[in-house]
Amino acid sequence: MAGLGAFVRRLFSTDDAGISVPAMDGVFKPDNRLEEAERLVSLPAIDNLVSSPAGLFCGSGNTLFRLDLGGAIALPVAIAEFAAPISFVASALDGRLAVGIEGEGLQTGQQGAWKRVDLPGDVASCLTAGVFAADGSLYVCVGSRRHPARDWKRDLMEGGSSGMVLAIDSAEGSHRELAAGLAFPNGAVMLGNGHLAVSESWRHRIVAIDPKSPLPVAMLEDLPAYPSRLSPASRGGFWMALFAPRRQLFELVLREDDYRREMMATIDPGEWIGPELAGSARPDQPLSQGSVRQMGVLKPWAPSRSYGLVARCDGSGLPRESWHSRADGSMHGITSVCEHGGSVYAASRGSGTLLRLPDATSGEARHD
Amino acid sequence: MTDPHATDIVQFRKATKAFAGNAAVRDVDFTLRQGEVHALLGENGAGKSTLTKVLAGLYPLTSGEMLIDGKPVNFSSPGDAMKHGIAMVFQETNLIPSMNVAQNIFLGEESFFNRLRGVNIKAQQHLQRLNFHVEPTALVSTLGAAKKQMVEIARAVHHNARIFIFDEPTATLTPEEKQHFFALVERLKGEGASIVFISHALEEALSIADRISVLRDGALIVTDEARNLTREKIVQAMVGRQLTDALYGDAAKRVARAPGEKVLALENVSMGKAVRSATLSVFAGQVTGLFGLVGAGRTEMMKIAAGVLKRDFFHGGRITLRGEVVRFRVPRQAVRRGVAYITEDRKLDGLFDTMGIAQNVFLGKLAKGSNPVSVIGLNEARRQSAAWIETMNVRSIGANARVVELSGGNQQKVVIAKSLIQAPSLIIFDEPTRGVDVGAIAEIHQIIERLADAGAAVVVISSYLPEILNLSDRILVARQGRIVEEMTIDEASEEKIMYAAVH
């Protein structure tokens, strides 16, 4: 009976008249600037850039790196090694760092003086992002309470909305829940009014959370890609990394419950139809045939599973400018973008490359 | 290729055709040679159709002369032109769909008693002579567009036509049908017929025409052998007007407004064959220019957004208004959600021309009103209408003057006021300055600019490139029912926009 109801709703609802995704136009008009960005360092699992008074930090696998940008070439300097992969890094104004460790929870402190913050097991395995407020308090995004961070695709396919935002008191080692029921919160930044902007990946939106109120308010909705980490912009507003594009095929798979369940039950997760961090030249990907590649040439407008996208938003959350690496590029899976020392850096997780964005801070932006 | 010294069977000398004082064709010297395919190119409103309609006897010339076989002629009807062997094949053919092919070919020549078999055999012989593969007994309604054109041509040949005029013949044809059509043109040419071919598709013109003429603003800009022309040269000739016109300023010096919130989004919206998977966004605080040639589906796209037309029910895509999915059944629903569509045909859709200005303006307010039994004070209605008449600077003898007595520009201002009284947040202007005098054009442009400055989302559909370039903060180009290009004002130029619209 429920199935019949869903069928009738699908037939007559205005919402389900077809499968479509928002257009990449206007501010999101594609260009090639991310592909042409200066490539500084190659780190296979580079993730979560964070600017601190002590330098630019990033996680890559189990290792926390400081990126030495002073010389002729950029050098990653390993400063700490953890027992499991790093899922996020955050930095406070006083130089303190917070590092999320997959399955292990949260560590705060500095080089050589780490302190573990105890968190419940279902929360500790998927810490996706964190941000320090001006008063030193720490907010942490928990992407999912059901799956570890590395299993993000499964959370998407299961329609996960078990994510939450926690306020951590690192001195006392306590935490409190700020917001719950979020669909994979994956990035956070403090706004000028003391509110917290959080990216909800699976709902393709940015929400504002008042630390005094549990109800998130949508700031920016219906993004053309899955948003990831956020970081403050010196011109006001924030930077937004978007790690994978929305495609009609993914939306179809996410809508067709039986198909998706069978796919998850019978096929290896690496082969699932869904967003990816990096492109694949493998011929067994269904999209490799016809619509993506023709006569050996990859069409830039093809509906690829991966994409590179960075956007700068103003204080009200409106996107103002964007940088792209299209289907024929390789700087895909941008999971983090960060302003440091007058330049803007982006981490392409898909290609394992640290990028310096052109025209990101100098002069006026195209749409300002 | 035709012999350059071949006989000119049609000559226009200083031909001018004016409608109510506005010259649609000005001082055109045009020649058509025996056995040539002559392509006529130009933007919408360049005068191509007018020139050919004069040749086909639909309009008389205002001044200048037309010579057929060197002798001056003045056709009073299309029948006159037919007697001289001139036949025009329109986009929408003039066949009777409920009759069969043979009956259509011999229409008007029926005897008192007709033997169908005899008519069919005669038609078959005629079609075979032309090498047209059309079944004479087939109902015309069952034929495709190309076959219908064949029947129309067969009918013209039967009436001894030797000059064929094709107005946008390939616009409605499938690629396969186009090949049929080109073969047909070659065959007609081989039989010594002369062909005038109006098209927007430059590649087609370059490939099948012997000579090409480009018209712009009613004047003949260039006539040359097709082999001497390139796509770039033609586009330049089509749009190469001087941008020094004070009205349109210098588009290159403009700075685009920053986009605000996304107000309207069309995602893969389809409606029959007119709109095919159109995807576009419109942002607040900006003017979004929508350019396209006739038949590109731009008006239809916006009419769908405004509830005037409805997208396909199945697989018709998605329309969102401020993030909310909508499918308006009637325009009133859109009006109440702050969408105003200002029509391109004000006489048909925009006004009640025998009513007064104030009444027309206030009708807009009534359309937005939510309470069907509310009582409206006459004074309030007068006051609101008068305020808008003053804001829009509608020049008339009084607020009760009938709209039909106003000039085109003032009528257009009334149509705009009728929509703006609804306080819309998304305003779609469809050809806002068509048939409007120069003074009113500047005022209408100012209104559009002010609306965008005040934060409204504005869409301007226009076929006139300087208008698009001068008003828009971002430009979308439509072709064949979809958006094919988006340009910022920094990268847009007349040539680039036209190139996107025709390729």
pLDDT digits (tens, 9 = 90+) for B291-306: 987 778 889 999 999 9
Query: Please, are residues B471 and B442 in contact by the beta-carbon 8 Å criterion?
Result: no
Distance CA B245, CA B222 (A): 22
Q: Are strands B194-198 and B163-167 parallel, antiparallel or unpaired?
A: parallel
> What pLDDT does A261 receive?
95
Residue range A97-109: mean pLDDT, rounded: 90
Q: DSSP string covering B324-380, please?
A: EEE--SSHHHHHHTTEEEE-S-IIIII--TTSBHHHHHHHHHHHH---TT----HHH
- In this predicted structure, the answer to whether residue A362 has a pLDDT above a threshold of 50 is no
Residue range A130-139: mean pLDDT, rounded: 91
Q: Per-residue pLDDT tens for A285-328?
A: 655 555 667 667 778 888 889 999 999 999 888 999 999 999 88
- In this predicted structure, the answer to whether residue A129 has a pLDDT above a threshold of 80 is yes
- In this predicted structure, the answer to whether residue A4 has a pLDDT above a threshold of 80 is no
* Best CA proximity match to B163, nearest among B271, B367, B7: B7
> What pLDDT does A356 receive?
94
Q: DSSP string covering A84-152, please?
A: S-EEEEEE-TTS-EEEEETTTEEEEEETTEEEEE---HHHHTTEEEEEE-TTS-EEEEE--SSS-GGGH
* Cβ neighbours of residue A78 closer than 8 Å, sequence gap 6 or more: A63, A64, A65
Q: Per-residue pLDDT tens for B7-41?
A: 889 999 999 988 766 678 889 999 999 999 999 98
Q: Which of the residue ranges A180-189, A220-229, B285-294 would you say has the lowest mean pLDDT?
A: B285-294
SS3 B237: helix
Quote the CATH superfamily of domain A21-266+304-357: TolB, C-terminal domain (2.120.10.30)
SS3 A4: helix
* Best CA proximity match to B196, nearest among B333, B50, B332, B308: B50
Asked whether the beta carbons of residue B262 and residue A26 sit closer than 8 angstroms, the reply is yes
ipTM of this complex prediction, to 2 decimal places? 0.82
Q: Which residues of B244-263 are buried (b: 16+ CB within 10 A; e: fewer)?
A: eeeebeebeeeebbbbbbbb
Report residue A70 as tokens. 């002073």
> What pLDDT does A364 receive?
44
Q: What is the DSSP letter of B402?
A: B
* Best CA proximity match to B286, nearest among B321, B262, B250: B262
Asked whether the beta carbons of residue A26 and residue B474 sit closer than 8 angstroms, the reply is yes
> What pLDDT does B241 receive?
52
The residues with which B428 forms a beta bridge, in sequence order, are B341, B459
Q: Per-residue pLDDT tens for B238-294?
A: 776 543 354 565 555 678 898 999 999 999 999 888 898 899 999 999 999 999 877
Chain B positions contacting chain A at CB under 8 Å are 256, 258-262, 265, 267-268, 279-281, 283, 311, 313-318, 320, 323, 325-327, 474, 476, 483, 486, 488, 490
CATH 1.25.40.10 fits B251-338+424-502, yes or no: no
| CA closest to B325 among chain A residues | A15
- Give residues 23 to 62 of A whose Cβ lies within 8 Å of B: 23, 25-27, 29
- In this predicted structure, the answer to whether residue A225 has a pLDDT above a threshold of 80 is yes
Mean pLDDT of chain A, nearest integer: 87
Distance CA A81, CA A99 (A): 11
* Best CA proximity match to B470, nearest among B251, B286, B253: B251
Read off the amino acid at residue A222.
D
Asked whether the beta carbons of residue A23 and residue B259 sit closer than 8 angstroms, the reply is no
Q: Which of B259, B317, B326 faces A26 most closely, judged by CB atoms?
A: B259
Q: Cβ-count burial of A229 within 10 angstroms (0-12 exposed, 13-18 middle, 19+ buried)? A: buried
Residue range A221-248: mean pLDDT, rounded: 94
Q: pTM for this one?
A: 0.73
- In this predicted structure, the answer to whether residue A33 has a pLDDT above a threshold of 70 is yes
**A363 CB within 8 Å of a chain B CB:** no
Q: DSSP string covering B18-36, please?
A: EETTEEEEEEEEEEEETT-
| CA closest to A218 among chain B residues | B323
Query: Please, are residues B342 and B308 in contact by the beta-carbon 8 Å criterion?
Result: no
Q: Which helix (H) or strand (E) element contains residue B68? A: strand B63-68
Report residue A173 as tokens. 């080692």
Distance CA A55, CA B157 (A): 84
Alpha helices (H) in chain A, listed in sequence order? 2-12, 121-124, 152-157, 248-255, 257-266
> What pLDDT does B144 receive?
72
Other Cβ atoms within 10 Å of A13 Cβ, number: 12
SS3 B172: coil
Distance CA A6, CA A15 (A): 13
Which of the four pLDDT bands, split at 50, 70 and 90, describes residue A368?
A: very low
Q: Which helix (H) or strand (E) element contains residue B290? A: strand B286-292
Distance CA B327, CA B419 (A): 21
* Best CA proximity match to A86, nearest among A347, A305, A339, A280: A347
> What pLDDT does B155 receive?
85
Asked whether the beta carbons of residue A27 and residue B259 sit closer than 8 angstroms, the reply is yes
> What pLDDT does B6 receive?
59
User: Which chain B residues are Cβ-neighbours of A20 within 8 angstroms?
Assistant: 267-268, 279, 317-318
Other Cβ atoms within 10 Å of B117 Cβ, number: 10
**A120 CB within 8 Å of a chain B CB:** no
Distance CA B378, CA B116 (A): 68
Asked whether the beta carbons of residue A23 and residue B267 sit closer than 8 angstroms, the reply is yes
> What pLDDT does B370 receive?
58
Q: What is the pLDDT along chain B (503 residues), one digit of tens a residue?
A: 444 545 889 999 999 988 766 678 889 999 999 999 999 987 766 788 888 889 988 888 889 999 998 889 988 888 888 888 898 887 656 788 899 999 998 887 777 777 888 889 999 988 887 777 888 999 988 877 677 878 888 888 888 888 999 887 776 566 666 777 788 788 888 888 899 988 767 778 888 899 999 988 888 999 999 888 887 788 788 776 543 354 565 555 678 898 999 999 999 999 888 898 899 999 999 999 999 877 788 899 999 999 999 988 888 888 999 988 898 989 999 999 999 999 887 877 888 888 888 888 888 888 887 566 667 777 878 888 888 888 888 877 677 778 877 777 788 889 999 999 989 999 999 988 876 766 678 888 999 999 999 999 999 998 888 889 989 999 999 988 999 999 998 888 888 898 888 77
CA dist B117 to B29, B120, B417, Å?
48, 5, 63
The residues with which B220 forms a beta bridge, in sequence order, are B215
Q: Which helix (H) or strand (E) element contains residue B206? A: helix B202-208
Q: Cβ-count burial of B445 within 10 angstroms (0-12 exposed, 13-18 middle, 19+ buried)? A: buried
Distance CA A151, CA A87 (A): 12
The residues with which B474 forms a beta bridge, in sequence order, are B288, B488
SS3 B393: coil
* Cβ neighbours of residue B416 closer than 8 Å, sequence gap 6 or more: B342, B392, B429, B432, B444, B447
* Cβ neighbours of residue A152 closer than 8 Å, sequence gap 6 or more: A143, A144, A184, A201
Q: Cβ-count burial of B291 within 10 angstroms (0-12 exposed, 13-18 middle, 19+ buried)? A: buried
Among A318, A364, A368, which would you mutate to test the B interface (most chain B Cβ atoms within 10 Å of its Cβ)? A318
Q: What does the angle CA B232 – CA B236 – CA B241 come to, to the nearest 5 degrees?
A: 170
> What pLDDT does A232 receive?
95
Q: Which residues of B174-195 are buried (b: 16+ CB within 10 A; e: fewer)?
A: eeebbebbbebbeebbeeebbb
The alpha carbon of residue B486 is apart from the nearest alpha carbon of chain A, in Å, by 7
Q: Which helix (H) or strand (E) element contains residue A44? A: none
Per-domain residue ranges for chain B? Answer: 8-248, 251-338+424-502, 351-423
Quote the CATH superfamily of domain B8-248: P-loop containing nucleotide triphosphate hydrolases (3.40.50.300)
Asked whether the beta carbons of residue B488 and residue A320 sit closer than 8 angstroms, the reply is no
- For residues A14 and A257, the model is more confident at A257
Report residue A46 as tokens. 């580079």
Asked whether the beta carbons of residue B279 and residue A23 sit closer than 8 angstroms, the reply is yes
- For residues A240 and B255, the model is more confident at A240
Asked whether the beta carbons of residue B317 and residue A29 sit closer than 8 angstroms, the reply is no
By percentage, how much of chain A surpasses pLDDT 70?
88
**A21 CB within 8 Å of a chain B CB:** yes
- In this predicted structure, the answer to whether residue A38 has a pLDDT above a threshold of 80 is yes
Read off the amino acid at residue B210.
D
> What pLDDT does A263 receive?
95
Cα–chain-centroid distance for residue B193? Answer: 28
**A235 CB within 8 Å of a chain B CB:** no
Q: Are strands B86-89 and B163-167 parallel, antiparallel or unpaired?
A: parallel
Fold match between domain B8-248 and domain B251-338+424-502: yes
